[in-house]
Amino acid sequence: MGDLRDVVVGLSGVIPPLPTPFDDEGEVDYAAFEENVELLGQTPVSGYVVLGSNGEACYLSEEEKLKLVEIAVRRAPKGKVVIAGTGLESTKLTLELSMRAADKGAHAVLCLTPSYYKNAMNDDALIRHFEFLADHLPVPVLIYNMPKNTGLNVSARVVEVLSRHPNVCGMKDSAGDAVQLANFANAVGPSFNLMVGTASTWFPGLCLGLRAGIMALANCAPFECARVKELFDSGRIEEARALYLKLLPLNALVTGVYGVPALKYVCELVGFRGGRVRRPLLELDEAVKAKVRVVASASLGREL
């Protein structure tokens, strides 16, 4: 796929962070996962993130993680980038998992900020963590900022310093804060691929000059998410804005309100394999499913 750094820096468009389907016994349904990779490969997505927050990565064993990466790499159509989420609490374990994911063919790694000892995770600790990873890995490193789950929000100083490292090539910012996204955009240069991390900031991110988004909504609305950028890039700004606003209620349900169980349910509604969640997450009850279905139908403009 050419120089991986250039691939990641030049990555544009929509990248879904893939859910991990589980069967009724709580085991990974690898066949369903493989089917989703193949189906999404027929849509306008630019690649995949495996083992992200929407993939319930924190509930997966290392063996399960690596098998999912292997399947995604094997089934991804040519030209689709596969990014593996490999962030763990220690630098050592993150490096080891990242190396194994790279050996399986991942084109880049997305590393969640360590957060268990969050009071000790100051700017210097985070900078040294990511620099060490970038110094030792054969594939590009992306910073993953997910303050809703980690309780830790990366500072603009950290982003600015790390953006100068030749192997820290980008960032997924899932804070959902357009002002923070603008501050990050001000802090980095063109060789750093700052990516929208949630559909709630997709249109604002495009207005800021960002060109890629890793967003949960792209799993169940890949065409619509890609269409927002297509309209924006063609100068049809108001149409892009209107579509973005139409998608926001659904995005809220599959991210902030109900999260992964709702995302998997909507994926099933539109023809993908959502599967079950892994405990301790709970499935949606029927009343919530009915509510989600109404919102999904309205946002996607078709009866589901």
Give the catalytic positions in this structure: 172
Judge contact between 123 and 160, C-beta under 8 A: no
Q: What Cα–Cα distance (Å) separates residue 58 from each residue in 112, 168, 175, 245, 258?
A: 11, 23, 19, 31, 18
Report DSSP letters for 181-247, one per residue: HHHHHHH--TTSEEEE-SGGGHHHHHHTT--EEE-GGGGT-HHHHHHHHHHHHTT-HHHHHHHHHHH
Amino acid in the structure at residue 172: K
Two tokens at 285? 């009850």
Is the dihedral angle over the CA atoms 198, 11, 296, 234 positive or is it negative?
positive
Burial of residue 302, with CB atoms counted within 10 A of its CB: 0-12 exposed, 13-18 middle, 19 or more buried: exposed
CA distance linking residue 223 with residue 235, whole number of Å? 18
Give the containing element (helix H, strand E) for 15: strand 13-15
Helix then strand then coil, in percent of the chain rounded to 5, is 55, 15, 35
Two tokens at 92? 């050592």
CA distance linking residue 233 with residue 220, whole number of Å? 22
Q: Which residue has the tokens 């109404």?
A: 294
Q: Which residue has the tokens 């809220």?
A: 252
